[in-house]
Structure 1
Amino acid sequence: MTAPTLTGDTQEVALSVRGLTVSLPEGMERAYAVRDICFDLERGKILCVIGESGSGKSVTANTVMGLLPRRIGVSAGSIILNGREIVGMDPEELRSLRGREVSMIFQDPLSALNPLMTVGAQVDEVMRAHGEGTPASRRKRSIELLTEVGLPDPVLMYNQYPFRLSGGQRQRVMIAMALALEPSILIADEPTTALDVTTQAQILSLIRDIQRRKGMSVLFITHDFGVMAEIADSVVVMEKGHVVEQGPAVQILKAPQHPYTKRLIAAVPHLTDKDRPALQDAGTRQVLRVEGLAKTYRSGSALLRSLRVVPAVREVSFELTNGRTLGVVGESGSGKSSLGRLLTKLMDSDGGRILFEGTDIAPMSETRFRPLRPRIQMIFQDPFASLNPRATIGRILTVGPIAHGMPYAKAREEARALLELVGLDGGAFGRYPHEFSGGQRQRIGIARALMFKPTLLVADEAVSALDVSIQAQILQLLDKIQRETGVSMIFITHDLRVASQICDEIAVMQRGRIVEMGPPSQIFLNPQSDYTRELVAAIPGERNDRPAMAAADG
């Protein structure tokens, strides 16, 4: 590990962490969340803390903010923030620093924002909690902040509730709240993880622009080396609570020293100029044919002049043969997930045909479709939310097949075999979902979908929330399963790098329509649509104008 330079110069260092150790309660898989970690955040710079889930990144950020749960405490070490020691600081004194000197952008803005308060009220609350200004001046300042972070029609946005905003807009509100008191240090905890590539690029550009204009110091937490390449001046790599490597971003990217860093960088998906090798016997039989599929969402009332009509899927047509994977990519709101729900009959279409193995399932009632449902299975984005927390893994895997007439003994045998196939041991059968990591839970979700021996798998953002190394494992697992079973897949994702790795063909969706379709080599290396070109240009870590690389050249 490269040791940090102990300058001791508070003029140069905004945040200095020395020997920080945070203990975990008894019974956890390890005794410490972080142990003896040291790093410096220089003034006016962006420091990225990178590592997998469980590496201690978020615990470090929450320790700086004084937001640790009561069961977790600092057992050793020092945190100097703008020249002041905050370990052991009085809670009231620390509360006065929070927001004024150091602010935080949280990973999930929907859960971090109060659903019962308007956007403007929440930005106003940050200033009011510190006794800043009058109601009129706070309103004026809030609208200025909403303008600064690039929200459309800030006066209208001021009175909106969070659920009416897109993911990218909610994240911009979180940034506005963090900037309300103009702190000198900004902590961003995975602020772009769940965003599509263009929104992600906008948020990264916004943070970088604000940081430069205001001379802020930024502690940016991420598990994505592509994001790190876009924004970081320096990098700290963490593994299981330890700092294993740190240094300038260019050095870490081009010449990593630690084996863990090398493994993480190797696992990052990149656009490929080669199409995926075809499976043996793939493409000989049509599994799915979609013709003119349409779905429109309606809300409000025409009588009250509040009717809102949103065409989610418009005249979508494509074919899918056995053993092949069709990727569906696009921004949030493009209609990707709506298409997946239509194909699995989780909602009814307004028009068009869905020919599954020659039978049009679109007009079928649930009663008529139920015998076919086992053959069309879905892998959901959030495996924790889609697994019953009160049921063992064995029950989760066997309850469906048993309901369709499979004897328990056979279902149990097949469930154990599938757990081994997805890389889990037989002991997982009797355990509960909370006992597994995110990647392991996603493996369980895949096993559950395979229990029915489906002809078609629809994977809806199945790897978007996973670390790059776990993501790579899941992609390899899906490829292995497809080669062994010949199952066809619809792979929905906002990560174009992932799509290029696993898909035989890619459909690009914009505002409910497919604007371009073709093999990955064409879509990513020779896109025909302006929209596709914009998506490809926004992929983090794939552009030629990355700041870190520019710094290296300079």
Structure 2
Amino acid sequence: MAASIQASAVEKAALSVRGLTVDLPEGMERAHAVENISFDLKRGQILCIIGESGSGKSVTANTIMGLLPKLISVSSGAIHLDGAAIIGASPQVLRGLRGRVVSMIFQDPLSALNPLMTVGEQITEVLTAHGVGTKASRRSRALELLTEVGLPDPELMYHQYPFRLSGGQRQRVMIAMALALEPTVLIADEPTTALDVTTQAQILKLIRDIQRRKGMSVMFITHDFGVVAEIADSVVVMEKGRVVEQGSAEQVLKSPTHPYTQRLIAAVPHLTGKDRAPQEKAGKETILKVEGLAKTYRSGSTLFGSQRVVPAVKDVSFELAAGRTLGIVGESGSGKSSLGRLLIKLQDSDAGRIHFDGRDIAKLPESEFRPLRPQIQMIFQDPFASLNPRSTIGQILTVGPVAHGMPYHQAREEARALLAHVGLDAGAFGRYPHEFSGGQRQRIGIARALMFKPRLLIADEAVSALDVSIQAQILKLLDQIQRETGVSMIFITHDLRVASQICDEIAVMQRGRIVEHGPPSQIFLDPQSAYTRELVAAIPGERPRSARAAAAND
């Protein structure tokens, strides 16, 4: 009787996973990537799979797609996709299912798209691989898809290469490719993690609208409960390869039963609407004063009339007091990161002044600025890319101070002390960056920046790609460091929830300009600019569910 009920559930579901176990190679920190997991994706619904990095979410998705690397293997379990068995199917069968029955939107569209092929070629390639249509009809279908996912000027987009598009536009191209053959099941693996709030809201609305219009079933992988609150019908929570909780979105969000789910929900940043308590070490002196800063990027050729001019930073002015944090928020392309690079003089400004500790550093030549460089340090967005993979953590932390005259034995002791301070054990000193998780690498990046005892820290999207629980730890660490050392911070982020947690003041940037500047209470509770109101309204999970449902039905 139980077997017949289970068989019936498999038939009714668009995707059914039963007792799936995927083994990891020997010597890894655990034996299984996923262990004995079971869940169903009902037809016409959105199932969110949530968990931290290493919980097995992406391995599950790749197993369903038949894209597991050779080192990882399925040891037991069954997967039925629209009634067809996946485990043990031949490569030919799996190729026939991909794109036609199940498609996937990958987390990083830039690495998933072919840089040598135009957008149009990559969409038509999906159709060609399955022998669909003629050359003319495939081109017509590609243009139709580009229109459907909301890309401007589809004819122009058809001939563009991926590097010419923004992050949100590349993600829309990935969605167009995934929808080309109108699959039954769409798997979206963290498709909005690195996007700003307005682009994220657009992508979520696009996926939800297409799912409803075409009656697709969607498996949405995420670590953000704000996203879950926006779109999920049901939720599966994974921890270290196991399913620890599952149920309806309403049930899991409002009445979580497992301690891990409760911890994840508690770690989600929310808009506080309150101004930050003053720091004891905050002073009234101005450590940084920026006046009329400007930067314009030029590419192409004036000779052939193809020069492209992009004003990235336009007439930006602000002040930062000692021991305080200024948040710089805005969409991708608003000029936030360009501003950060100008402040640390990784790029030269075209106009304006940067007064640091009373001295204009904007026009200083590198030889004169070099002695001041240790006092201004940066925490980069991608800690893995900013750490030398061939150097140990000890070398990475000590090489800068030693180059600036600190004796090696002193640098070594300070590095060990800082590693302990940011929550890493003593053994980290002799290990390499690839041996650490994303959150641990970000802690190393913070330790490296603090080795010089800087007076100003510039954090460029320092927590944007981290799980919510690790994000909360890093924010707590930065707050603790600031209270202990009195360091001033420029905190660049596209996540307004994070900005509300750590910033004393917030500057909102749009197209290179600061359009609003004030304390969090003003920016989030009484925004004066229409653009700021739009940003606040787009924050996932901050509106009541009933309001989101009403907006979705408009």
- TM-score range for the pair, normalised by the shorter chain length: over 0.9
2:57 matched residue in structure 1: 57
* Superposition map of 1:69-468 within 5 A: 69-468=69-468
- The CA distance in 2 between the partners of 1:285 and 1:478, in whole Å, is 21
Alignment of 1:523 with 2:507, yes or no, is no
Q: How many residues align?
A: 547
| In structure 2, C-alpha distance between the alignment counterparts of 1:84 and 1:99, rounded to whole Å | 15
Aligned partners of 2:418 and 2:451 also within 8 Å: yes
Matched residue type, 2:235: V
- Deviation of 1:12 after TM superposition, in Å, equals 2.6
Question: What is the distance in 2 between the residues matched to 1:277 and 1:36?
Answer: 47
Give the unaligned 5+ runs of structure 1. none
Deviation readout 1:213-253 (Å, 9 max, x if unpaired): 00000000000000011010000000000000000001000
Amino acid paired to 1:201: A
What's the CA shift string for 1:346-390, capped at 9, x where partnerless? Answer: 000000000000000000111111000000000000000000011
Q: Which residue number corresponds to residue 503 of structure 1? A: 503
8 Å Cα contact 2:229/2:545 also seen in 1: no
TM superposition score normalised by structure 2: 0.98
Distance 2:321 2:446 in 1: 21
Q: Secondary structure at the match of 1:247?
A: strand
Matches of 1:274 and 1:507 in 2, distance apart?
Answer: 16
- Give how far 1:113 is off: 0.3
- Cα distance in 2 for partners of 1:281, 1:403 equals 30
Counterpart CA distance in 2 for 1:244 and 1:277 is 37
Root-mean-square deviation (CA), in Å?
1.2
Match of 1:55, SS state, is coil
Give the superposition deviation at 1:284: 1.9
Indicate the SS of the match to 2:327: strand
Structure 1 length-normalised TM: 0.98
Deviation at 1:11? 5.1
Change beyond 3 A, Cα 1:549–1:146: closer
**Preserved CA contact (<8 Å) 1:381 1:463:** yes
1:113-153 CA-to-partner distances (Å, cap 9, x unmatched) read 00110000000000001111111110000000000000000
| Alpha-carbon shift at residue 192 of structure 1 (Å) | 0.2
Q: State the Cα distance separating 1:283 from its structure 2 match.
A: 3.1
What amino acid does structure 2 have at the position aligned with 1:411?
A
Where in structure 2 are there 5+ consecutive unaligned residues? Answer: none
Distance 1:403 1:521 in 2: 44
The separation in 2 between residues aligned to 1:381 and 1:82, in whole angstroms, is 40
Q: Which amino acid aligns with 1:488?
A: S
**Does the aligned pair in 1 maintain the 2:14–2:41 contact within 8 Å?**
yes
- Per-residue CA deviation, residues 156-199 of structure 1 (Å, 9 max, x unaligned), is 10000001100000000000000001100000000000000000
> Deviation digits for residues 24-76 of structure 1, max 9, x if unmatched?
00010000000000000000000000000000000000000000000001000
Q: What letter matches 2:319 in structure 1? A: E
For 1:397 and 1:325, locate their aligned partners in 2 and report how far apart those are by CA, in whole Å: 24
Moved over 4 A (4+): 545-551
The alignment status of 1:493 with 2:506, answered yes or no, reads no
Q: In the aligned structure 2, how far is the partner of 1:441 from the partner of 1:550?
A: 41
Q: Secondary structure at the match of 2:302?
A: coil
Q: CA deviation at 1:273?
A: 2.1
Deviation track 1:312-331 (CA, whole Å, cap 9, x = no partner) reads 00000000011100000000
Q: Structure 1 225/8 Cα, relative in aligned 2: closer, same or farther at 3 Å?
A: same
Distance in structure 1 (CA, Å) of the matches to 2:547 and 2:216: 17
What residue identity is the alignment partner of 1:285? E
- Asked whether the equivalents of residues 328 and 336 of structure 1 are also in contact (C-alpha less than 8 Å), the reply is yes
In structure 2, relative to structure 1, the CA distance for the partners of 1:548 and 1:519 (3 Å cut) is closer
The CA distance in 2 between the partners of 1:531 and 1:229, in whole Å, is 24
Q: In 1, distance between residues paired with 2:527 and 2:277?
A: 21
* Partner amino acid, structure 2, of 1:512: G
Aligned match of 1:68: 68
| Aligned-pair CA distance for 1:547 | 7.7
| Percent identity (aligned) | 80
Residue identity in the other structure for 2:494: H
Distance in 2 of aligned mates of 1:283 and 1:411: 29
Paired with 1:197 and 1:442, the residues of 2 have a C-alpha distance of 22
- Whether 1:32 and 2:32 are equivalent positions in the alignment is yes
- Offset at 1:281? 3.8
1:18 aligns with 2:27: no
**Alignment check: 8 A CA contact 1:230 1:547 kept:** no
